[in-house]
Amino acid sequence: MKFKAEQISGGRSRRALLSAAGVALTTGLTGCLGALEGDEDETKNVNGGDGDTESDKEPTDSSDETAELRETLAAADPYRMLQYGPDHVGNTVDAGPTADVDAVWTFREGDDDSHYEIGTPAIVDGTVYVPENHSVGDDSAETVVYALDGATGDIEWEWSYPRGTTFGSTVVAEGAVVLILGGSVVALEADAGTERWRLERDFSDAVTVADGTAYAINTTYADPPTLVAIDIETGRERWTKPLGNERMYWPTPPAVADGTVYQGGMEFTALSAADGERLWSKDFGNAVSGSPTVTDDACYVPLGDGTIAALGRDGTLRWRQPVERGGHGSGLNSVSSPAVDDGTLYVTNSWRLTALDADDGAQHWTTETAGDRPPVVADGVVYVSGLNAMRAHDGATGDRLWRYETDASSSSGNKVAPVVGETAFFPSAGLHALREADATSD
C-alpha cells in the first residue's frame, strides 16, 4: 500500500476557532479532460523544498491508536450515500481533519492500467464499503465490492462482479450495500457480502435509498427515462414513473425527503414517494446538472447554464444566481450538487468553490479549489476533491487549511471524498484514509 503525497497547510482549528462571519452533464468527463488538478504556482512541500514528500504507511492493527480510531469511526455520523443521506444536504456535525494530513492507510488491489477505477465509499459503523474495477488477465476486468476495516484498510469481505463497469455512489442502508453495476441494481448483505437480490434493467449509475426503498432511473437513454422504486428487502418494484417528456437527458441522482422524491433532468420534478404521483415540476430552460439538495424548507438545484436555483418545497422559485467558474476543465459549467450548512450553500464549478447565502443567494466568498466534485462540510470545514487532489477550506472565509495530492492521472465519474470520524476518505488511484499528521505520528 504505497502512495505519493504532496501537502500544503494553512493550519487552522475547528469551528470553535473559525470566524463567526460566516452533469451531471459532464460527470463522465472528469478524468478525460487532460488537466490535472494541481496548482502550478504553489509550493509542493510544506517543509520548504520543492521535491516530493514520500510516505509509505502500512496499517498496524496492534496499536492503541488503531483501536481508538476504530472506536471513533464506529461512533461517528455515518456516510451512507451521496452527501451523507437521501436529502443530499452534505454536512455532518462531526469534525474532520483541519491541519496537515497523512494517509493512515491506502487501499488498492488492482494494477495501474486502463481498467483501474475506485468508487466513492460509504462508511457506516466503522466499516468502509467501496467498489473497485481492476484487470483480470491480459484483456478482461472485474468489479469487486469490498468491506474494509476503517481503521486499517484490511479486507473484511469481498464480492465479485464478473466484468468491469462504471458505478456511482455506494449506498449502505437497511443492512444492505446497494450499487448499480452493469446497469443492474445489486443489493448485498452489509455484514457478510452475500447477494440479497439483483434487479436487471438498464439503470443509470445513480441510486438513492430512503425509508426502505431504493430509487433508480431506468434507463439513461429510455424514451423517456423512468424512475423505479424498489423494495430494498426483496428487490421487487413498488412503482415506476416516466420522467419528463420524449427529450433524452442524463438524469441526476434523486433526493428524497419527508415522503417526496426530487428528481433532476431537463425539468426538476417532485413526486410522491408512496406511489410516484407527480406533485409539481419546474422547467428552468436548462438541464439540472447535479443532484438536488433538500433542506427543511428549500430545494437547491444546480443547473447546466452555471447557475443555482433555490425553490420552496412547493416548487416556488425564491432565487437563481450564477456561480463563478474556475479556469480548468472543458469550458462547460459543471455546477456541482451543493452542500448546505448553517445558512450557507457551498458549490463547485470547474475547480472553484463558492459560498452563497442560502436565503437570498448572495455570494459570501469564492476561491480556487482542488476539483469540481460535490463538496461536503464537517463541523464548519468544507472539503472538496478532484482527480488527484483534495483540499479543506475554512467555511467562513474560504481560506485553505490543507491540501493533499496523489499521482492519479485518469478517472471517471463524480466521486466524493467523505469525512467521517476525523478522517477524510479520498478515492484517487486507490482509497486514502487521511488524518491529521500529528495524529498519525503519535
The model's pLDDT over 151-175, given as tens digits with 9 standing for 90+, comes to: 999 999 999 998 777 778 899 999 9
The residue with cell 517543509 is 47
Q: How far apart are CA 374 and CA 137, in angstroms?
A: 35
User: What type of residue sits at position 363?
Assistant: Q
The residue with cell 514520500 is 54
The DSSP output letter for 40 is T
The contacts of residue 392 (CB under 8 Å, 6+ apart) are 96, 97, 98, 381, 382, 383, 400, 401, 402, 403, 424
Q: What is the model's pLDDT at position 413?
A: 63
Q: Which residues of the chain have pLDDT under 70?
A: 1-62, 220-223, 244-250, 327-333, 411-413, 439-442
The model's pLDDT over 290-340, given as tens digits with 9 standing for 90+, comes to: 999 999 999 999 999 999 999 999 999 999 999 998 865 555 567 999 999
- Asked if 424 and 86 touch (Cβ cutoff 8 Å), the reply is no
Q: What is the model's pLDDT at position 137?
A: 79
Residue 208 CA, chain-centre distance (Å), reads: 13
Strands (E), 376-430: 376-378, 381-385, 389-394, 400-405, 419-420, 423-427
Q: How far apart are CA 383 and CA 92, in angstroms?
A: 12
